[in-house]
Structure 1
């Protein structure tokens, strides 16, 4: 058996077939036939054991037992029954069957699995009078059957649990990649070669440390399956335990030597492995995973946001003779709000690469290519891969000035529908969108009319095919198209946008001249929209007794954030007789509401003179005097450091992330919110209220650091009916000083 060649099929994540083929060549010097999501080859038992132990990319290693034409359930039964199962298992072994594929007569995988199980247990009954038991919980023997194009392949699963489960990651971060995908990304980056040259590895958004651990395992020559206790062949009758144990002993020795070598290399300034993450709880998980992998002596992780990356002394973990590798899997947004808030994050990553990592190799793994372009460095290679079922891309970069490109956020296409050529590729799909829009009008339109709302959201990406936000501004329609999911190609996204636009005027009963489209997508070639050449296209809208100028055409945002309508209304209802402070005030809408509600004085602070002027015009539009109401141009964070006035009501609504050239440093709301809130609270009167809001979907308020205050999460009450589908568009708290109990 040891020298006999056996037929093997090895599965892997989609897109990694050629990585797996190269791995086979390096491990066993064998060629393979590449198939969808795997490779097939012939090998001896010793070679198969070695591959199970050392493959970094494989999911399952399947030992072929039989293959034959199968169209009916009876043919499937006969094929499985023809195998001598007593050569592979005993009646005492537990069993499970994994079945995939179908035929005309076998169109249910559960049915197929039952027929396979019946054939095996019937054979045991016929020959020994007993049958093995079936269990899905750690079975001794796992049988795998695949039926495709009328041919069934019956195999034993040598893996047991999927080989991507190394054993070290019992905890995971928010959006972890699987271990074998992480290893494949490193292989695509030629990490083995770079590591041999002494290169260091850095992940500035390391999460649960998967990339770091996989990188250290490669560097330390640790077999990825070394820590696993269970394999699918351990109870197989033909298993050769001595052979397997000899391979394990060899792997242990190699790891011990490799670990010592890396520790020595690191003491000399080479092969440093370092990770950062802004979330302390995630770093705690990372440290536990690293320790379980036995790599805590060679991997260092710290709590540090991307914005602080520049403060790291690069010399601590880079030798000037060898370029380091920065590999990371940054968040890429599963919903519209996520995508919009992450643009600054990617831009900041690009800025850090340019300022501190010249000469390095960089690789960014993302499911949103448009966000990847925000980095501002031209890639030399891209690999199309999958993160689970999500199409993704590994963007390879040489950090060198010759590859630097400018990112231009002004490339936001804005055009009136009347100026756009519409071609409807799929009328049926357009009709589906129209029906959804009519349904929304019946509910939201009626609600808006009852509440006397001129501005509200009528559609919020209700259907995945139509990635749009559609807002009503009196008798105008404002359409924003966000980056489509990575699974939808650019042509399909353009077709679907056209289909939606084709029905909007009729369904909403507005002329095409009053439909404004904003497309947030990289422009190129024929897909570039003509930009509307008229400026200062303003209109006046009303909200809870206040008037505002909005501009639907000339800016990315209109001047009025519709989701904050309930927050502004609450401010109006609670501002009487109070001094009001509006930080990051934008166009001053909350200030207008506060004055309408009776605020005696107000201060509105923003960095943009354009928005401050807009706010002053809103003030005049409502007939309010400038006396007592200041608009101050300043960086809010620096202004808070020097301000000494006291306010009864404060509205703090900072951006998620900002590295504006006008700011000193970088604003990261998750990192900076505690300091920002404490400084704002220093300006709050004892009986006052700080209204704190932000739109970072995964934001976590550090309640322990703010334990001195009374914290009340009021988010649910600040989401109106038109934003119920997007209920995490913002989070909101009322923060006060605690009152002493006299009990």
Structure 2
């Protein structure tokens, strides 16, 4: 049959994009298209199949049907394949492979189906010629596809010789990469080609290895997606027309050369993981599109709309993590919410397209999508959400997630949900209010200059009012200190009422915005009762970081305000560093290090609650876990294992712990020598370790000063809001002596 003769073909594709593929094939010259599940039948001469292999952005495979055979049993399949004249398709000197898909009652395993099919072909040659072709699982000359449906099997030659989604430009990818043809389908559904023709821009804020950007760039530059494939299966087929193929290939190369030379639309990608950014840059270079597609390492929260060129319109598109891929679902709600805020704040008149396998996470974005498409990412049912951002109102986040329970604090507190309504202040309440105003005025210039959002306003300045008052954005947090012995409980209760009366007046907040933690004054077991947890996390800003705090449920809020200067140091010193956060708590320092440009972070803690909180904080700042490891372990035991070294370490252990998950209790004064030594063994020669704790009267073991360069930097790690209480923590900076000859470290006792 001549190459001009019309033949019947079949193209496979991911489920959900059959109509797009049918339209694409028609633009390539196909006729008689007919859609079926995950594929399209079509007709046309050999040139149409060549163009489909080279130009289809959506197809997985282009198949030339050979025969349809009975397959109600394995023997029937074998017999039917044995009746095909295989010399018309395969030379005995060539290698081949079988791709088998589908199952029925008799053939339940694709490997068994492929083996039986291979046996039939080999035996045909052995019986006909006394010789047999070889099977090659990798890089065969020809690849045959056997597609089982009920009791019939369609046998076909794979014209491309492998899946067409492999364009040849991608050698590395991030976690759960998006297949190239599915990425192309998302762009087509979002009308990127039309937008590119009108001069619009393309932004992917979580670009990974750059698949969406590169598919979009090839569309804009008129680059055939199959141009970089090394070879095609049909080139070894005896029906191949080399001259016709060279003409089609030459035309595509010319179009690509002209397209790359044009002024292409603005196309940019960002990702918080520097490793996948490097892979994306390599992929871009492989396609010769460095001039048009630029990728930068940047977390989602720092994304800004390009302003260096006038952009009439644009498309923000991404495939955020979902499910178990990069973290817990509860954590990912904060990532999706952050995405929604960035979409609305920076791209308010653009279009957006978000691809997710979890519609509930999609709703966490907080914006209304005007269209949804059901698709499949492999076997995973997924949805493409399209957004018109103009006039799209961002819904309130509400309670983004529930905080997990943790053990009761050693000094239980009673939550007071509502402070008293504002009323004329008593003499004592007025005196307390005056002190609050005085302190706030004293700190005002520092707060404005440093853009401080969370700070301590009052810290038991007057002994009779033994409370700490902290501001968290527009919320107030009050915690009562343990009253000294001999203080009349009734007098203490009266003063606490005066505190609660003064707060709404001074800070001009509603009673519901004040979280009050009061020590119980009941007797017996009642004083240890704890109210039901709210699980309310609110977002506050500290420097470049957005951090989640819980003002009601726990003794602590999830953010130690006194460590603010130390976190600033870590952010400033983390660029390009590998950072280790031991006893990481909710990971505020980890977030600062990541946003400061750390190459990697590792956070270790024994509490599932804290680690879950850390994951939420990472997600809230658009940071995935691929470059930010989270380890649940006893820190001392973890340090005792063989592991990597680090440039920057934060070691902030509790004063005391007797957790049941630990082999022994921990006392920071008693045990810090062994702990610090173990941590210093993980510190690189030129690195530095910050060791901090809040044990009153703590003394650093002199053996540490003998072994390492130790500097007490406590005074430098206290901001003005903690100037009254310099004993709130101690902090040391440790380095290896003489460039870090760790093997010479004197261990001494312990």
TM-score (structure 2 length as normaliser): 0.62
Deviation (angstroms), 1:703 = 13
Deviation (angstroms), 1:389 = 2.2
Q: Distance in 2 between matches of 1:380 and 1:609?
A: 34
Does the 8 Å CA contact 2:571/2:593 hold for their aligned counterparts? no
**2:462 corresponding residue in structure 1:** none
Q: Distance in 1 between matches of 2:127 and 2:188?
A: 50
Would the alpha carbon gap of residues 275 and 201 (structure 1) be closer, same or farther in structure 2, given more than 3 Å must change?
Answer: same
Q: Deviations over 1:593-623 (max 9, x none)?
A: xxxxxxxx9989661686722x437x56999
Deviation (angstroms), 1:133 = 0.8
Structure 1 unmatched runs, 5+: 415-468, 474-540, 554-582, 592-600, 635-657, 684-688
Deviation (angstroms), 1:318 = 4.0
Q: Distance in 1 between matches of 2:100 and 2:180?
A: 24
**2:734 corresponding residue in structure 1:** 738
**2:709 corresponding residue in structure 1:** none
Deviation (angstroms), 1:705 = 7.3
Q: Deviations over 1:335-384 (max 9, x none)?
A: 79633223333333333333332321111112222232233332211111
Deviation (angstroms), 1:712 = 11
Q: Deviations over 1:300-338 (max 9, x none)?
A: 12222222223x4x332443xx31111112223427963
Q: Distance in 1 between matches of 2:237 and 2:564?
A: 60
Deviation (angstroms), 1:17 = 1.4
Q: Secondary structure at the match of 2:93?
A: coil
Q: Distance in 2 between matches of 1:88 and 1:399?
A: 54
For 1:260-409, list aligned pairs within 5 A.
260-261=261-262, 265-266=263-264, 271-310=265-304, 312=305, 314-319=306-311, 322-334=312-324, 338-401=328-391, 403-409=392-398
**1:104 corresponding residue in structure 2:** 105
Does the 8 Å CA contact 2:571/2:592 hold for their aligned counterparts? no
Q: Secondary structure at the match of 1:692?
A: coil
Larger Rg: 2
Does the 8 Å CA contact 1:205/1:329 hold for their aligned counterparts? yes
- Equivalences, count: 526
Q: Distance in 2 between matches of 1:75 and 1:586?
A: 78
The answer as to 2:476 corresponding to 1:607 is: no
Q: Secondary structure at the match of 2:477?
A: helix
Does the 8 Å CA contact 1:21/1:31 hold for their aligned counterparts? no
Would the alpha carbon gap of residues 260 and 741 (structure 1) be closer, same or farther in structure 2, given more than 3 Å must change?
Answer: closer
**2:192 corresponding residue in structure 1:** 191
**1:208 corresponding residue in structure 2:** 209
Deviation (angstroms), 1:68 = 2.7
**1:466 corresponding residue in structure 2:** none
Does the 8 Å CA contact 1:20/1:39 hold for their aligned counterparts? yes
Does the 8 Å CA contact 1:8/1:63 hold for their aligned counterparts? yes
Of 546, 569, 576 in structure 2, the residue corresponding to residue 667 of structure 1 is 546
Q: Deviations over 1:452-500 (max 9, x none)?
A: xxxxxxxxxxxxxxxxx996x9xxxxxxxxxxxxxxxxxxxxxxxxxxx
Deviation (angstroms), 1:137 = 1.2
Would the alpha carbon gap of residues 372 and 676 (structure 1) be closer, same or farther in structure 2, given more than 3 Å must change?
Answer: farther
Does the 8 Å CA contact 2:82/2:120 hold for their aligned counterparts? yes
Q: Secondary structure at the match of 2:344?
A: helix
Deviation (angstroms), 1:177 = 0.8
Of 412, 418, 437 in structure 2, the residue corresponding to residue 547 of structure 1 is 412
Q: Distance in 2 between matches of 1:8 and 1:155?
A: 9
Q: Distance in 1 between matches of 2:104 and 2:584?
A: 58
Would the alpha carbon gap of residues 316 and 622 (structure 1) be closer, same or farther in structure 2, given more than 3 Å must change?
Answer: farther
Structure 2 unmatched runs, 5+: 419-451, 460-465, 493-498, 508-536, 549-558, 573-580, 616-628, 636-649, 652-689, 692-732, 739-743, 745-750
The answer as to 2:584 corresponding to 1:692 is: yes
Q: Distance in 1 between matches of 2:396 and 2:611?
A: 33
**1:679 corresponding residue in structure 2:** 568
Q: Distance in 2 between matches of 1:156 and 1:290?
A: 32
Q: Distance in 2 between matches of 1:399 and 1:703?
A: 27
**1:132 corresponding residue in structure 2:** 133
Q: Secondary structure at the match of 1:316?
A: coil
**1:38 corresponding residue in structure 2:** 39
Deviation (angstroms), 1:31 = 3.8
Does the 8 Å CA contact 1:13/1:181 hold for their aligned counterparts? yes
Q: Which moved more, 1:154-163 or 1:20-29?
A: 20-29
**1:647 corresponding residue in structure 2:** none
Q: Deviations over 1:215-245 (max 9, x none)?
A: 0000000000100012222211211222212
Does the 8 Å CA contact 2:143/2:161 hold for their aligned counterparts? yes
The answer as to 2:165 corresponding to 1:169 is: no
Deviation (angstroms), 1:69 = 2.7
TM-score (structure 1 length as normaliser): 0.62
Would the alpha carbon gap of residues 203 and 677 (structure 1) be closer, same or farther in structure 2, given more than 3 Å must change?
Answer: farther
Q: Distance in 1 between matches of 2:122 and 2:8?
A: 24
Would the alpha carbon gap of residues 213 and 603 (structure 1) be closer, same or farther in structure 2, given more than 3 Å must change?
Answer: farther
**1:238 corresponding residue in structure 2:** 239
